[in-house]
Structure 1
């Protein structure tokens, strides 16, 4: 596992995709940044993130080799990994609004964006991106957004949350996906 921490980038997914096109990266290479300036979600929606207060992470998963008709399994694995991590932090009322939103109650606290590299009828690699609202408390353009801090009433250590999620994600994706 290699972790690359950036001060700022437009998009962790884009950065990882471009880096992997330039050089061979090891499985589970991770890009994270304190300031994602052009984060995006599904269907090119924008992800609002205040500098230094949230998590923006992308992970390269290689050698997947599953049929494209089982594509949803990647979303399931990633979503469950994030939910497991947030459950360990006692975040209440967690659920997934399929395919890519992480909710606490009716509030969106995170989003997932998975970009797959397909060869023939098989998924060969995935760039798994996700953002998690951790310590941000104001959301100008996202009325249903919230954060761990708003929900729980205290700041969270970003590194602790990062490593908890990465550990769960690594365990989940190390298992064979049927």
Structure 2
């Protein structure tokens, strides 16, 4: 891994993408900042992080001979890398909230944003952005948000945690040609927040529906069992899990 640490930038994903356009970067080049001024989440949401308290970083990974229709398996692997790292740190009740938020109990502690630059049907590069609430205590009244320090009462060394997370990513992503996709999907689904529990979802038009999360499709859509044993797949923009 090659880590570039910066004091403050708009977005680690944006910086790394521009950096990669100018120079031939190796896999696991990392851009890490103390302060991210314009951090982004899924669907254009804003990631707010107190300077010097949390981890906000992006990692470059090239893929060759990997079918584009299987892109969501990269999301699965990245989410599992973060999940496993937190479990090793004894963070309690860790789950992955579809598609790639990281929770402890019902509180969000992290998130993943992967942006891909496609060269052809089997070649692309991924910029993997990860935000993790570590030592921040106050969240300006935001509900259902927490941090590792709030959960454990411990202060974490950010540099040490960063190396731990990047090492986990290397372990999960390096052998992608050998992935057993069926096993990977089962592993990801087993850690899904509210899997097989009655849940409420908000659709794009504002209406609410009830159902059970039964898993994800190979393309990353959420599989929900509705009334009368009807199964329906939802994309990220189509439905939001409320509780």
Same fold (TM over 0.5): yes
The equivalent residue for 2:155 is: 155
CA contact (8 A) 1:116 1:123 kept: no
Larger Rg: 2
SS at match of 2:21: helix
- Distance in 2, matches of 1:51 and 1:102, equals 20
TM-score (norm 2): 0.70
TM-score, L = length of structure 1: 0.95
Tell me the matched-pair count.
Answer: 178
Measured against aligned partners, the alpha-carbon deviations of 1:91-138 in whole angstroms (never above 9, x if no partner) come to 000010111200000000000000011133335110000100000011
Counterpart for residue 33 of structure 1: 33
Q: What are the ranges of 5 or more consecutive residues in structure 2 without an aligned counterpart? A: 180-243
Aligned mates of 1:101, 1:125 — CA distance in 2: 22
Relative distance call for 1:142 and 1:65 in structure 2 (3 A) is farther
Indicate if the aligned counterparts of 1:65 and 1:124 stay in contact, CA closer than 8 A: no
1:46 and 1:89 map into 2 onto residues whose CA distance is 27
Q: Is the strand fraction higher in 1 or 2?
A: 2
CA RMSD of aligned residues (A): 1.3
1:9 lines up with 2:9 in the alignment = yes
The structure with higher relative contact order (CA 8 Å, sep 6+) is 1
Unpaired runs of 5+ in structure 1?
none
Q: Is the 8 A contact 1:48 1:141 kept in 2?
A: no
Mapped partners of 2:75, 2:99: distance in 1: 7
Q: Which residue of the partner structure matches residue 133 of structure 1? A: 133
Partner in structure 2 of residue 45 of structure 1: 45
Q: Secondary structure at the match of 2:159?
A: helix
In structure 1, how many angstroms separate the alpha carbons of the residues matched to 2:147 and 2:123? Answer: 33
Equivalent residues in 2 for 1:17-96 (5 A)?
17-96=17-96
Helix, strand or coil: the match of 1:146? coil
